[in-house]
Every structure is written in C-alpha cells, then in structure tokens.
Amino acid sequence: MSTQPYEQAIAATRSVLEGVQADQLSEATPCASWNVSELINHIVGGQHFFVAGMKGTPPTGADADYAAGDFVAAFDEASGAALAAFGEDG
C-alpha cells in the first residue's frame, strides 16, 4: 500500500501545528465543540488510534494532554508510528 497521500497529510498537519503558539491553545476553532488545545489532542491522539487499528490493539493515550507539552514532537512520534504501521505487510 502506498503511504504517499498519508505522508502528505502528515506534513501538512505538522506545518499547521508548528505555527501554533502557547497563547493560542485556549482559542476557539471552527468546530464550536473544541478549542485549539482540544483539537491538538484529537489530532495527536488520532495517530495513536490509527496504530491501534492497524495492529489490532486497544488505543493508547486517550487521556493524554499532548497540548500541554511539545505537541509537535508528540505528533512526530505518533505519526511516525502510524506511518510505519500502515507501511507494514499485511
């Protein structure tokens, strides 16, 4: 399976995350239910969900607050694991 479209989505998402400043985390998003911090947690957590789905294991990190730390590094780690899972045979 080609992971090129997924890699492009990861790169585009990462570029947006790189532009987020700490003072923006409580700001609203176009989705009225989530602020920036909550959306970051959803995006990073989603990568962990993808890994779990590909490996047939329970998702991890559901309660993690990725936005409270280095969320770009957390995204890099999680998306790297997800990309590796999608690239595996089977």
Q: What is the pLDDT of residues 21-48, one digit of tens each?
A: 999 999 999 999 999 999 999 999 999 9
Tokens standing for residue 8:
């492009």
pTM of the model: 0.91
In a domain, 46, yes or no: yes
Query: How far apart are alpha carbons 44 and 10 in whole angstroms?
Result: 11
| Domain presence at residue 64 | yes
pLDDT for residue 1 is more than 70: no
| Spatial separation of the C-alpha atoms in residues 46 and 69, rounded to whole Å | 17
For residue 46, the enclosing domain spans 4-17+28-87
Q: Where are the alpha helices (DSSP H) in the chain?
A: 4-18, 36-55, 71-87
Cα 39 from chain centroid?
Answer: 9
Residue 41 falls inside a structural domain: yes
Per the structure, the count of domains in the chain is 1
In a domain, 22, yes or no: no
Quote the pLDDT of residue 5: 93
pLDDT at 76 over 90: yes
